[in-house]
Amino acid sequence: MITDDKMDQLCINTIRTLSMDAVQQANSGHPGTPMAMAPVAYCLWQHFLRYDPEHPLWPNRDRFVLSMGHASMLLYSILHLSGVKDIDKEGNILNRSTIGTDDIKNFRQLGSKTPGHPEYGIAAGIETTTGPLGQGAANSVGMAIAGMWKAGHFNRPDVELFDYSVYALCSDGDMMEGVSGEAASIAGHLKLSNLCWIYDDNKISIEGNTSLAFSEDIASRFKGYGWRVVRVRDANDLKMLARAFRQFRNTNDRPTLIIVSSHIAFGSPNKQDTAAAHGEPLGEDEIILTKRSYGWPEDAKFLVPDGVMDHFRKGVGRRGRKLHTSWGKKFDTYRNKYPEPAGLLDSMLNSRLPDGWDADLPSFPTDAKGVASRVSSGKVLNAIAKHVPWLMGGSADLAPSTKTLLTFEEAGGDFSAANPKGRNFHFGIREHAMGGILNGLALSKVRPYGATFLIFSDYCRPAVRLSALMEIPDIFIFTHDSISLGEDGPTHQPVEHLASLRAMPGLITIRPADANEVVEAWKVIMQLRNAPAALMLTRQNIPTLDRTKYAPASGLAKGAYVLAGPENGNPDIILLASGSEVSLCIDAFEQLKSQGIKARVVSMPSWELFEKQSQEYRDSVLPSSVKARIAAEQGATLGWERYVGPVGQIIGMHTFGASAPFKDLQKKFGFTVERVVAAAKAVMGIWV
């Protein structure tokens, strides 16, 4: 009979050998870290994690985030051995394992469920896409915030629905990346006692020992952030690991960092940690020696010994099933006693908007002076948030400028350790962590938004990219969207940023032309379920167009629409623009019309939405027979050529901006009615 200690070791070595074999068969990957951290993952999953493998989307499950995504075989092995069930795109549980033996054998192969770094949505149990170091750590902070908010909003004194914990496994690389410092700082400030990072202190990176570039005192650093710090001197010491996890569970006033010292042990004593930890298979000879040291059959590949999976079922499986069943009974009681919040919770978990979510959307009257789209957006945001309790967010210290503060009483004020019900988040000047936290919130079914100036989209771009890769509905609000922000000058004036965001697959960018297009933009954004959105807004006032004279703003939903044009027949020229330049083109249109020139104005707030329309619709907006076209946008011209064609002209930015009042800048860089009219006539002269 196998004793408990021997079974523990057998399970740990199964994780290790599966990782070795998968990397060797793929001839690619990172075997060392999964081998070193196998005891840590085993101890957490088998003895502490509140997780039901039969129901991997159980709302109150603990979250396990592998921020060290290069150690993906550690996660795949655990999911396989724990028997985590698969789910389909609608969230239905399937009668099969999410990671089977064949999936492990196909590690890093085309179309497999086991890519080189874990990817959200490919297999159940993968809580987020990790790869760029530090991102998973930041995501875990968002997940922990979501857990605290759900508890504050939905728990009742007699029925506690949410009390889950979030665990993130981090490497030296995670600790070096700046985003983890930003995320850890805000986690300490918010006293997220449901958050535990486990730091694999193995002192190894690709170039060699971390002492080459990394010598700080991590424990002191995290104590300074306000974290509890616990040390485990040997990653193989299950008793000390269990003690550390218990210390975390007993801490209720701050997040916890568990520093685990590990060493990657191989069969041959002179095997270098560096090579095995970062991207090289061990080689068949080394695998044989290592397996021999484990007492493992040397020629066995992908072996799961008898009793291993049954042992996991009796551990994490039995505990998770019991906890989940108990939670289900609680939720039944909750549903009966508190039907209204229960209904809202159902809607939130299933990504459904509540009935009447758009009941109070404003309509803006015609106004030549107009209003900045950041201001109109703030009004729309508040109107929607009143009816969608899980719509929440904030800004990277710019809420007064981005107009993203929720001001109605039901918003609950500012989220904090003392007020977990609050829906206004203060991210501080931490754009990168803000993006990562938004991803963690969205993965937890909260609908998050985060705001900053468009120029600082550079600082949160990695997280924006991952939101697009994961197809989660983050809302990124980018104000001060052009050189017309004025006197702050070129360091704050975005030029290439909109073009670079448009280049990102899966991201919906929207740059509305006036206040009523802002309303329509928010309608589109709120109904997105599988894509993030970036909303570009002005600092300066822009006219609110007369919609009795021009086409309704509802055309925004199709990405581009005919705003103005001749009553009959095709136009002689098409003027295309987004955002603040649409009213410029309207003024040019009126001048051309007075001169007997038939022009059409196309408002084009979202290329991505336009490209989703039928070819018939796109041709109706931009008929191929009309070659004369002008595009105007206060940004880089890259990409507009697909819409203006080979002989059209683009009025845009080819340099950085300058520091001056915005009207002076518009004249300097050619964003004037006179320039548009002259360009239109020049283009028409080629074709008339």
Over residues 457-476, the pLDDT tens digits come to: 999 999 999 999 999 999 99
Q: Examine the domain organization and report whether 376 and 273 are in the same domain.
A: no
pLDDT tens per residue across span 14-43? 999 999 999 999 999 999 999 999 999 999
Residue 167, classified by CB atoms within 10 Å of its CB into exposed (0-12), middle (13-18) or buried (19+), is: buried
Count Cβ atoms below 10 Å from residue 113 Cβ, excluding itself.
Answer: 21
Residue length, the chain? 688
Integer angstrom CA distances of residue 533 from 385, 593, 633, 688: 17, 36, 20, 41
pLDDT of 278 > 80? The answer is no
User: What phi and psi, each to the nearest 5 degrees, are found at residue 614?
Assistant: -65, 155
Q: Which of 496, 519, 543 is the last residue of a domain?
A: 543
Give the count of alpha carbons within 13 A of 326, CB side only. Answer: 15
1 confidence band (pLDDT: 50, 70, 90): very low
Confidence at residue 263, expressed as pLDDT on a 0 to 100 scale = 79
Instruction: Tell me what the mean pLDDT of segment 596-622 comes to.
Output: 98
Same domain, 39 and 171: yes
Amino acid in the structure at residue 284: E
CA dist list (Å): 286 to 73, 289, 426 = 18, 5, 51
State the greatest distance between any 2 C-alpha atoms of the chain, in Å, as a whole number: 96
In a domain, 25, yes or no: yes
Q: Identify whether residues 382 and 529 lie together within a single domain.
A: yes
Q: What CATH number is associated with residue 590? A: 3.40.50.920
116 versus 569: the higher-pLDDT residue is 116
Residue 277 has what pLDDT? 46
Residue where one domain finishes, among candidates 523, 543, 563: 543
Q: Structural domain tally of the chain?
A: 3
Residue 337 domain flag? no
Q: Which residue has the tokens 């595009």?
A: 631
Three-state SS for 42-61 is HHHHHHCCCCCCCCCCCCCC
Q: In this structure, what is the dihedral angle of CA atoms 123, 124, 126, 128, given to the nearest 10 degrees?
A: 90
Residue 9 scores a pLDDT above 60: yes
Which element (helix H / strand E) includes 65? Answer: strand 63-66
521: helix, strand or coil: helix
Do 532 and 681 have their domain in common? no
Does residue 132 belong to any structural domain of this protein?
A: yes
Whether residues 300 and 441 share a domain: the answer is: no
Supply the mean pLDDT for the chain: 95
Question: Is pLDDT at 265 greater than 70 in this prediction?
Answer: no
Do 520 and 602 fall into the same domain? no
pLDDT of residue 302: 97
Asked if 379 and 491 sit in the same domain, the reply is: yes
Dump pLDDT digits (tens) for 544-569: 999 999 999 999 999 999 999 998 88
Sheet holding 424-426, edge to edge: 424-426, 391-395, 447-453, 475-479, 533-536, 508-510
Of the pLDDT bands very low, low, confident and very high (cuts 50, 70, 90), residue 209 is confident
Q: Is the pLDDT of residue 320 over 50?
A: yes
- Percent of the chain scored above 70 by pLDDT? 97
pLDDT value at position 206?
Answer: 80
82 in a structural domain: yes
DSSP secondary structure string, 154-168? H-BTTB------EEE
Confidence of residue 204 (pLDDT cuts 50, 70, 90): confident
Same domain for 679 and 560? yes
CA 378 – CA 117 distance, rounded (Å): 38
Confidence of residue 276 (pLDDT cuts 50, 70, 90): very low
**Residue among 423, 429, 426, 412 nearest 446 (CA):** 423
DSSP category for residue 531: -
Looking at the fold, whether 241 and 379 belong to one and the same domain comes out as no
Shared-domain flag, residues 576 and 534: no
DSSP code of 555? G
Q: What is the reported pLDDT for 18?
A: 98
Q: How confident is the model at residue 3 (pLDDT cuts 50, 70, 90)?
A: low
What's the mean pLDDT in 207-212?
85
Per residue in 40-97, pLDDT tens?
A: 999 999 999 999 999 999 999 999 999 999 999 999 999 999 999 999 988 899 999 9
Instruction: Say how far apart CA 583 and CA 512 lie, in whole Å.
Output: 11
- The mean pLDDT of 488-499, rounded to a whole number, is 97
Q: How far is CA 239 from the centre of its chain?
A: 36
Quote the CA–CA distance of 491 and 657 in Å, as a whole number.
8
Closest to 273 in 3D by CA, of 621, 533, 73, 30: 30
What lies within 8 Å, CB to CB, of 216 at 6+ separation is none
pLDDT of residue 570: 87
Query: In this predicted structure, what is the pLDDT of residue 400?
Result: 96
Residue 354 covered by a domain: no
User: Domain range spanning residue 624?
Assistant: 555-687
* Residue where a domain stops, chosen among 501, 516, 543: 543
> How many angstroms separate the CA atoms of 296 and 19, rounded?
14
Across residues 288-301, what is the average pLDDT? Answer: 94
- Position 336 in a domain: no
Q: For 320, how many CA atoms within 13 A lie in the half-sphere containing its CB? A: 30
pLDDT at 274: 44
Q: Which residues are catalytic?
A: 431
Sheet holding 629-636, edge to edge: 561-564, 599-603, 573-577, 629-636, 649-653
Q: Do 120 and 58 belong together in one domain?
A: yes
Residues 399 and 299 in one domain: no
Which pLDDT value is given to residue 211? Answer: 85
Asked whether residue 334 is assigned to any structural domain, the reply reads no
Q: What percent of the chain has pLDDT over 90?
A: 93
Instruction: Provide the token pair at 552.
Output: 């309704």
- Cα–Cα dist 315/11, whole Å: 12
Q: Could you report the per-residue pLDDT of 505-532, keeping only the tens digit for each?
A: 999 999 999 999 999 999 999 999 999 9
Q: In this predicted model, what pLDDT tens digit does every residue of 572-602 receive, in sequence order?
A: 999 999 999 999 999 999 999 999 999 999 9
pLDDT of residue 275: 42
- Entry pTM: 0.96
CATH of the domain at 290: 3.40.50.970
Residue 341 lies in a domain: no
CA dihedral over 249, 250, 255, 260, signed as positive or negative: negative
Q: State both tokens at 266.
A: 């191989």
